[in-house]
Structure 1
Amino acid sequence: MRRNLLRVLTAPLPLLVAVGLFTAPARAESSTYGSATRYVAMGDSFSAGLGAPGADLTCGRSPLGYPTLWAQAHGIASFTDVTCGGAVTDDVVAKQIPSLNAGTDVVTITIGGNDAAWGSQVLTCMQSGDAACASAVDKAVVDLPAITAKIDTTYAAIRQAAPNATVYVLGYPLLFEETAGCSAWIVPDQYQRQQIDRFGRALNRSIADSAARAGFRFVDAQAFFAGHAVCSRQAWIHPVLNLTPLHPDAGGYRFGYLAALTSVTG
């Protein structure tokens, strides 16, 4: 087992995560990106495309993840994908940042969920009841400043390695609907789903604040996933009993993440 459950769950193996978002989508100008754009995709499984068809067994990268879809939509010839399921901030610094240089034009990234060990909170909620769930989330919220410091350091390293790039930081979707009644099998109860989403919103606020401090653009994904989480009638998130549980499916990457990124890039 890896150092925390979420890291296991964001690797190309069965997993379990939950995260959230809070801002409204921005409106994009017409795109300035094209075939000459030099684009590097970075981050964890939510950038790799784990959960979409065709994901590889090493890092869970799928050609139907949002980075490849965005590069194809803009006819980008210079596209480097260093995303990897299970990545934490230390992995980004050690293994992914070397792909950046002064000629990099665009960077996209999701990171922070594994550092926060979100999967451990989800597992606690599902196995140990409401009180333990709330306690785990309370502790995780208190511990967020330490995670934020790691994210700040990572963003600073990205800026140093790619001083001319526009960096888009994508948030995580809320993976559970919070309303009463749920037809999905084996899910946290309503209170637990609300607690899990509470931490997701707090994590995404921290990520957005870090992005702002670094001069990066935070991209709201949740506004595009709204109404399509687990327990919805048309979910874009895989259920718990799945080889890639609680990760977006192909629809989630195309109509959720890609749509969110396109809303700010054109």
Structure 2
Amino acid sequence: MPHLRSIVLTVAVASVTGLGLVPTADAATVRYVALGDSYSSGVGAGSYIASSGDCDRSPNAYSALWAAAHSPTSYVSVACSGAKTTDVLNNQISALSSSTTLVSITIGGNDENFANIMQDCNLKGTTTCVNEINAAKADATANLPAKLAKVYNAIKAKAPSAHVVVLGYPEFYDLAKSCIGLSQASRTAIDSGIDLLDSLTKTAATAAGFTFGDVRSAFAGHEICDSGRWLHSVNILDIEESYHPTATGQKSGYLPVFSAKA
């Protein structure tokens, strides 16, 4: 018969596991660096850290939440709002070292002019929206894989022992629902652009030997037009947070996907 203490310990561990708070193996030795763009810095999640300036890093971002739950040896986020692949190479890679054991990153959307396209979709109508997305998809297909490969190779060079988790982007719209705003044609085009971006990212990450975390299914049922959405729609009072995850989107969408891959 198992010892009572063993039974209590097993139950306790199982309970914590159910909350998703059990540290990964040897979490105390993890040295974690978060790289990337606004989806990693936490734009839209609020409570921005003053010292992060225009990078708008939030303690509600998935990387900060993971670090708070797992207490790694070290954690730093250099993710920054508006970052492109060149910004990662020029301004963020230096945060890595040979002692880094865990890296996360979202990158690629800004290389395809994400913010301006979404602005035009809202201001200039369906034809402009669809045309710009199609042009971005063509550019991404032709050029983004090489840009991503350059970033991933740089990560491997600076942190050769690190486990690297590359996260994708959520689809913005639940196409089965209708709501005020963009036309169905624009919404369909936007989601198709995100799907292509995620597909290219997954292929490049896998080729680099990294782990890809697809967040689309996590956000399913919580997209714009859903009553319990985890994404900001257009916010004219804070335009930057538009189309970014809320604090709940970071906690309930990105964090579980990252935790499962870390």
TM-score range, shorter chain: 0.7 to 0.9
CA apart distance, 1:210: 0.8
Greater displacement, 44-53 / 106-115: 44-53
Query: CA–CA distance in 2 between the matches of 1:264 and 1:152?
Result: 20
Runs of 4+ in 1 over 3 A off after TM superposition: none
CA apart distance, 1:33: 4.6
Query: CA–CA distance in 2 between the matches of 1:63 and 1:129?
Result: 36
The letter of the residue matching 1:263 is: A
Query: TM-score if structure 2 supplies the norm length?
Result: 0.85
Query: CA–CA distance in 1 between the matches of 2:249 and 2:110?
Result: 20
Contact 2:177–2:225 (Cα < 8 Å) also in 1: no
Query: CA–CA distance in 2 between the matches of 1:87 and 1:214?
Result: 21
Contact 1:48–1:84 (Cα < 8 Å) also in 2: yes
Number of residue pairs matched by the alignment? 234
1:216 to 205, 210, 214: 210
Contact 2:23–2:70 (Cα < 8 Å) also in 1: no
Query: Paired residue for 2:40?
Result: 47
> Which structure is higher in helix share?
2
Contact 2:56–2:80 (Cα < 8 Å) also in 1: yes
Task: Point out the structure with max Rg over C-alpha.
Answer: 2
Deviations 1:9-64 (A, max 9, x none): xxxxxxxxxxxxxxxxxxxx983251221000000110001111211343110111
Contact 1:180–1:190 (Cα < 8 Å) also in 2: no
Superposition map of 1:84-123 within 5 A: 84-123=80-119
1:130 to 120, 126, 134: 126
Query: Paired residue for 1:164?
Result: 161
Deviations 1:173-219 (A, max 9, x none): 1122212421xx5x312111010111110011111111011111000
Contact 2:172–2:190 (Cα < 8 Å) also in 1: no
CA apart distance, 1:68: 0.6
Query: Paired residue for 1:155?
Result: 152
Query: CA–CA distance in 1 between the matches of 2:26 and 2:219?
Result: 25
Contact 1:33–1:74 (Cα < 8 Å) also in 2: no
Superposition map of 1:11-90 within 5 A: 31-56=24-49, 57-90=53-86
* Root mean square deviation, CA, Å: 1.6
Question: Which segments of 5 or more consecutive residues in structure 2 lack a partner in the other structure?
Answer: 1-21
2:135 to 130, 134, 139: 139
Local SS of the residue matching 2:196:
helix
Query: CA–CA distance in 2 between the matches of 1:89 and 1:141?
Result: 17
Query: CA–CA distance in 1 between the matches of 2:120 and 2:54?
Result: 28
Q: Kindly, what percent of the aligned residue pairs are identical?
A: 37
Query: Paired residue for 2:198?
Result: 204
CA apart distance, 1:112: 0.4
Contact 2:105–2:166 (Cα < 8 Å) also in 1: yes
Query: Paired residue for 2:233?
Result: 239
Query: TM-score if structure 1 supplies the norm length?
Result: 0.84
Query: CA–CA distance in 2 between the matches of 1:60 and 1:159?
Result: 26
> Does 1 or 2 have the higher relative contact order (CA < 8 Å, sep 6+)?
1
Contact 1:112–1:151 (Cα < 8 Å) also in 2: yes
Contact 1:175–1:229 (Cα < 8 Å) also in 2: yes
Contact 1:50–1:85 (Cα < 8 Å) also in 2: yes
Greater displacement, 196-205 / 130-139: 130-139
Question: Which segments of 5 or more consecutive residues in structure 1 lack a partner in the other structure?
Answer: 1-28
Greater displacement, 207-216 / 130-139: 130-139
